[in-house]
Amino acid sequence: MARIRTTVDGLVYEDDVEPRMLLVQYLRERLGKTGTVIGCDTSNCGACTVHLDGLSVKSCSVLAVQANGSEVLTVEGLERDGQLHPVQQAFHDNHALQCGYCTPGMIMQSIDLLGDNPDPSEHEVREGIEGNLCRCTGYQNIVRAVQDAAQKMKPGAHASTSSSAAQPVAGGGA
Interface residues with ligand FES (CB under 6 A) are 38-40, 43-48, 58, 60, 97-103, 134-137
Crossing angle (nearest 10°) for helices 140-153 and 103-116: 50
Backbone angles phi, psi at 117, to 5 degrees: -140, 95
| The amino acid at 85 | H
Give the CA dihedral 17, 14, 54, 148, nearest 10 degrees.
Answer: 90
In angstroms, what is the minimal distance from the CB of 21 to another protein?
Answer: 8
Which x/- pattern over 36-65 shows residues binding another protein (rule: CB under 8 A)? xxxxxxx-xx-x------------------
162 binds, among ligand FES, another protein, none (CB under 5 to 8 A by kind): none
In angstroms, what is the minimal distance from the CB of 74 to another protein?
Answer: 7
Task: Establish if 10 lies at the interface with another protein (CB under 8 A).
Answer: no
60 binds, among ligand FES, another protein, none (CB under 5 to 8 A by kind): ligand FES
- How far apart CA 141 and CA 144 sit, in angstroms, is 5
Q: Is the dihedral of CA 67, 68, 74, 78 positive or negative?
A: negative
Consecutive H or E run containing 55: strand 55-58
In angstroms, what is the minimal distance from the CB of 96 to ligand FES?
Answer: 8
Residues 95-154 that bind another protein (CB under 8 A): 95, 97-104, 107, 122, 125-127, 129-143
- How far apart CA 159 and CA 162 sit, in angstroms, is 5
Residues 71-90 that bind another protein (CB under 8 A): 74-76, 78-79, 84, 88
